[in-house]
Amino acid sequence: MLKAMGISGSPRKGGNSETLLAAALEGVSEVGADRETVRLNELSYRGCQACGACLKRTGRCAIRDDLDDVYLKLRESDIWILSSPIYYDTVSGQMKLFFDRLRPFVRRKLPGRRAGLIIVTYEDVKRPDYARHAKVFADYLPWFGNFRPVEILCGERLGGPTAASRRPDLLRKAREAGRKLAEALLKRGGGARRRR
C-alpha cells in the first residue's frame, strides 16, 4: 500500500495552503493510500548548520531535534506533498528551514520510485515569480531520489485565510493532483515497502 506524507509549512491551522494540502491527501486516499500530515509549526527544529556531516561523513543530519521523526516518515513515504503560503515573495520560514534540512537525502538517496507535489498559495493575482519558487522545490526533489512525477499547484487570487475552502475549482485540482500522483506511482510499480 502506498503512503503519502503531507508537510504543512503554514503557521495557520486550516489556512489556504493546509486546505489544499488536505484536499490533495484526500485524492491520494481515494486510490487507497495511507496518509499523514506533519505541521512544521508545531515542531521544534533548527535550520541547517552547514556542518557537512550529512554529505561528507554519516549521511545523516548531525542535529538532533523534532525532524528526526520526520526523516523516518519521509523515508517510508512514497508521495511527498509540501504546502506553504507565500510570504515576502517566497515560502514560509518554516518550510525553508525544513527544506534546507533535507540535505541528508542528497548523500543517501531514497530507494525506489516516488512522486511529489508542491503547493503554494497567495492572495495576489497570478504571479509567475511565485510559481518559480514552487518549481525550485520541485526541481530539487529528484536530488533526493527517483521522484517522478513531481507536480506543482499554485493557489492564486485568494482572499482571506480560509478562502481556499470556498474555491471548489482549487479543491478539485488539489484532489485530482493527489489522485493522479498515486495512480501514476501504482502504474509504474511504486511503493516504499515493496522496494525493500
In angstroms, the CA 142 to CA 98 distance is: 17
In angstroms, the CA 7 to CA 84 distance is: 9
pLDDT in tens, 15-44: 999 999 999 999 999 999 999 999 999 999
* Percentage helix, strand, coil for the chain under 3-state DSSP, each rounded to 5: 45, 25, 30
pLDDT in tens, 51-110: 999 988 778 999 999 999 999 999 999 999 999 999 988 899 999 999 999 999 998 899
Q: Which of 180, 147, 174, 134 is nearest to 78 (CA)?
A: 147
Check residue 133 and give its pLDDT: 86
Q: Which domains does the chain have, with CATH numbers?
A: 3-195 (3.40.50.360)
| Alpha-carbon torsion angle 189, 171, 121, 29, nearest 10 | -30
> Where residue 162 falls among pLDDT bands split at 50, 70, 90?
confident
In angstroms, the CA 167 to CA 172 distance is: 9
Give the three cell numbers for residue 151.
507536480
Q: In sequence order, what are the residues at sequence separation of 6 or more whose Cβ sits closer than 8 angstroms to the Cβ of residue 89?
A: 129, 130, 133
Q: Which of 11, 68, 19, 63 is nearest to 42 (CA)?
A: 11
End-to-end CA distance of the chain: 13
